[in-house]
Amino acid sequence: MGSFRDLNVYKKAFQLSMLIFDESKKFPTDEKYVLTSQIRRSSRSVCSNVGEGYRKRIYPAHFISKCSDADMENSETQVWLDFALSCEYITKEKYNDYLKRSEEIGRMIGHMIENPEKYKGK
């Protein structure tokens, strides 16, 4: 197996994180230390936890734990997206797109949690 960067889940999570980063540049200045910071942090944490877990994949319990952390951060990102929509910082179309992407990422992380042996490598 190659790098964590080769995982489709990492690629999709990274892409979503960058979309959120670009969109959050438009959020009001008074949200800088709350919503803007939190949604950026949680979306980036999905990627970092996938990367960390993948490097520890020979230890199934650690791998599952880091994947669970990635899933938790993905869920937190969805909460912040809910706030962004409710505060009218993003359009319903962007919200739906980002949420759909996040849900797919969640399913992929779920697969990793349920099948750690498939990621163990040689």
Residue 64 CA to residue 61 CA, distance in Å, equals: 5
Q: Which two three-digit tokens encode residue 28?
A: 């009001």
- Count up the domains in the chain and report the number: 1
Residue 17 CA to residue 14 CA, distance in Å, equals: 5
Q: Quick count: other Cβ atoms within 10 Å of Cβ 90?
A: 22
The residues near 92 (Cβ < 8 Å, ≥ 6 apart) are: 85
What pTM, to 2 d.p., does this model score? 0.94
**CA–CA–CA angle 116, 117, 121 (5° rounding):** 110
- Tens digits of pLDDT across the chain (122 residues): 689 999 999 999 999 999 999 999 999 999 988 999 999 999 999 999 999 999 999 999 999 999 999 999 999 999 999 999 999 999 999 999 999 999 999 999 999 999 999 988 65
Q: What is the CATH number of the domain that holds 68?
A: 1.20.1440.60
Q: Which two three-digit tokens encode residue 97?
A: 């797109």
Range of the domain at 64: 4-119
Q: Which two three-digit tokens encode residue 80?
A: 């912040």
